[in-house]
Amino acid sequence: MLERVACAYCGDTSTEWDHLRPLVDKQRPTGYISEIRNLVPACGKCNQSKGNKAWRTWMFSDARLSPKRRGVADIDARAARIVASIASDLLRARSPHRREPREAWSTRRSAYGTPLRPSPSTRRRASTPQPH
């Protein structure tokens, strides 16, 4: 049985992997690539709403379906968790051992906790990376 994974942004059940930082901004590559460090579990609503926006600005914006607009209660804690995750990724990137162990994906998935409530409409889960 697949574990349930919470969306990093709002805590709903995640269905996909989202690029935390966009790969392309204003038609220029940002330097971020589709690697594990740049992917977070996300639900469809968040992924759709966020698009190419900077994640933090978007989370606290009034964009349609943004976490703030949807009244996510622990939005500050969630943003802090993403910041902490980025910081630890940067530390790890300095290490000479850059190879990601197989377990990295499951660690990554569990880093944001389990969903607050089950989402019956969820079929696809973030069990495999499916970046857009």
Note the residues at the interface with Zn ion (CB under 5 A). 7, 9-10, 12, 43, 46
* C-beta of 38 vs 44, nearer to Zn ion: 44
* C-beta of 5 vs 10, nearer to Zn ion: 10
Pairwise CA distance, residues 39 & 108, whole Å? 9
- CB 30 → Zn ion: shortest distance, Å? 22
- CB 70 → Zn ion: shortest distance, Å? 8
* C-beta of 92 vs 124, nearer to Zn ion: 124
DSSP assignments along 15-63, one per residue? -EEEESS-SEETTEE-S--SSGGGEEEE-HHHHHHHTTS-HHHHHTS--
Contact 121, 14 (CB under 8 A): no
- CB 108 → Zn ion: shortest distance, Å? 16
